Homo-oligomer: A and B are copies of this chain.
Amino acid sequence: MASSAMIPTYTSSSKGEDMQVDIEKNSKSHVRSQWVLNPPEPPSSWRVVTDSVGKSISRFRKNFSSLRDESWTKVLFSALQKIFPILVWGRSYTATKFRKDLLAGLTIASLCIPQSIGYATLANLAPQYGLYTSVVPPLIYAVMGTSQEIAIGPVAVVSLLLSSMVEKLSDPIFNPIAYTKLVLLATLFAGIFQTAFGLFRLGFLVDFLSHAAIVGFVGGAAIVIGLQQLKGLLGVSHFTTKTDIISVTKAVWQAIHNPWNPRNFILGCSFLVFILSTRFLGKKKKKLFWLASISPLLSVVLSTLMVFVTRADKNGVKIVKHVKGGLNPSSIHMLDFNNPYVGEVAKIGLIIAVVALTESVAVGRSFASMKGYQLNGNKEMLSIGFTNIIGSFTSCYVATGSFSRTAVNYAAGCETLVSNIVMGMTVLIALQFMTKLLYYTPTAILASVILSALPGLIDVNEAFRIWKVDKFDFLACLAAFFGVLFASVEIGLLVAVAVSFSKIIVISIRPGTETLGKLPGTDLFYDVNQYPMAVKIPGLLIIRVKSALLCFANATFVRERIMKWVSDEEEESVDDKGNSITQIQLVILDMSNLVNIDTSGIAALEELHKSLSTHKKQLAIANPRWQVIHKLKVSNFVNKINGRVFLTVEEAVSSKIQC
């Protein structure tokens, strides 16, 4: 509509008064076409690889040669600094910083002790394993990590995932030792995989889970974890080992229809209300933040005292009972590689490695960007991997960066990873001297500590934002959420990855095409749908493919689409007698999008050229990119279209108007 009104202006101005300009333009245009047609040879795939290796070597050499003049001790120290960043930031460490770190460390320790015991229970391990995992990993990470805020230790999602996968191999109730051995072996494998990812720079593996899928997955996992806590909250002994919502609802239904003790439930719920209300207060008034942070520990202490004084455990209140105290024992003898399940455990280790890294890197990155520094993904993987390898030798299960404790650490004003050291030492002291005090701690309180941490994992606002911005992303989010909820944690994970990738594939094999028009007052040709003021040139069809790749998977589709554009365009402009008014004479393919093309793509272009030729139409190409023009030249396509290759769409258009 807009186009037909504007055409006369365009044609008159370019054919009439500006003749001189046109001729000048034409010779310029010829020079520019030569620029397009004779670019330097693009680097071959082989060159790209060798160049990249060469660069790494020369960088290493440069670093090395700059060190050659230095003494050997300096060289060694420099290498150590790369491995242990604490040697860098530790040198400028001050007493002021320590005061802040001490406070932050104590705060996260108070949150960490009840959480660790709860997560160990979630992972079907004895409570002390949770505490062990809060001692060694933070200490190791503190000397190796590059983040300054991450709080390392056991986390909910990994604990759940670990238990749901390992309990298929060994029953945690009938044979807890065999189960624990498998968990430690899985931890070792996870550590080895994480270290390998870091060494081989496979950081992108963490990116396989899209942001949307993570939001859905974590939300679903939080609900599953919450449902698992009903076991503790109801104080029942028999519960399902499955994690999907249907099995758990059935188990809860059976539990409340058998005789059960409401004391556990009342105790747990009242402290849950206490913790949640202190958190609410802490959010309202920044000064009361401390109360929110220590309320979980406070709840543990108060409820333990209550049970101890009233001896409520004799009236059916379930208690933790014996927690083994003392330092982390060595667990090297427990790593049994002759296990028949070793292959399965390695697979579990791989999945856990990716999930744990995803959580840790996501946490680390978001806080790093708040403080405006970059997190080195590969170094992070190395640090977490090494942390877990050492952890598996010292009775720890998989540790990673925790969402909730890192947020508290940041809010409590931590300066460096020293807060992790403070936390580790505090838990160590608690393990050494205070485990006896945990004897009377009611299990319902541990459930409420875990439950209180869950709302932060269910990010409804973010899900809504995803819905607003990208419907397909929201689908990935929903798929992961329901996958975890109704099937299992692994299937949720699988669905999340599959949906995320199917989007890339779908966009690649079914790219859209758009027609371009001239923006008034410019030489620019843009999408006529996006810019309604853009004017189509009669007799010409300018098409751009919305894909970076013209390849086997989309070449035929694109070719057929373009032929359809041509016939649609001619059909639209028919007069009353059904005769086409404007015959399309030239089809210009704007290739500015196309980064690469393969042999199927070239074959499709050749077929397109043939079909257009039989209909007496010409094909021209505008702005082909480096790899594309190189391949079109090598395959002789440029000669087939008589060298109609132009730097811009505008030049392709004016070449036609002059003919």
Interface of A toward B, CB cutoff 8 Å? 28, 32, 35, 39-40, 42, 44-46, 203-204, 207-213, 365, 369, 372, 374, 377, 465-466, 468-473, 500-501, 503-505, 507-512, 519, 521-522, 524, 527, 529-533, 546-549, 551-557, 560, 563, 592-593, 595-600, 602-603, 607, 610-611, 613-614, 625-626, 631, 634-635, 647-648
Contact B647 A35 (CB under 8 A): no
B residues within 8 A CB of A207?
Answer: 509, 552-557, 600
CB distance from A497 to the nearest CB of B (A): 10
Measured in the bound complex, the distance between the Cα atoms of B377 and A213 in whole Å is 36
- A465 with B635, Cβ < 8 A, contacts A598-B470, A625-B527 known: yes
CB distance from A647 to the nearest CB of B (A): 7
Contact A548 B602 (CB under 8 A): no
Contact B46 A551 (CB under 8 A): no
Contact B39 A530 (CB under 8 A): yes
**Pick the contact of A504 from B39, B208, B551 — CB < 8 Å?**
B551
| Assembly stoichiometry (copies) | 2
B residues within 8 A CB of A551?
Answer: 210, 503-504
- A210 with B625, Cβ < 8 A, contacts A369-B607, A372-B611 known: no
- A473 with B598, Cβ < 8 A, contacts A372-B611, A533-B35 known: yes
- A469 with B635, Cβ < 8 A, contacts A547-B548, A552-B500 known: yes
Measured in the bound complex, the distance between the Cα atoms of B495 and A261 in whole Å is 60
B residues within 8 A CB of A501?
Answer: 505, 553
**Pick the contact of A626 from B505, B530, B548 — CB < 8 Å?**
B530
**Pick the contact of A598 from B212, B511, B595, B596 — CB < 8 Å?**
B212
Contact A45 B472 (CB under 8 A): yes
Sorted from nearest, which 4 A-B pairs have the closest CB atoms? A210-B552, A372-B614, A548-B548, A211-B600
CB distance from A505 to the nearest CB of B (A): 7
Closest Cβ neighbor of A593 among chain B residues: B593
Contact B552 A631 (CB under 8 A): no
Contact A595 B504 (CB under 8 A): no
Candidate in A530, A555, A603 with the most chain B CB atoms within 10 angstroms: A530
**Pick the contact of A470 from B548, B555, B599 — CB < 8 Å?**
B599
CB distance from A466 to the nearest CB of B (A): 5
CB distance from A167 to the nearest CB of B (A): 31
Contact B647 A524 (CB under 8 A): yes
**Pick the contact of A546 from B510, B553, B595 — CB < 8 Å?**
B595
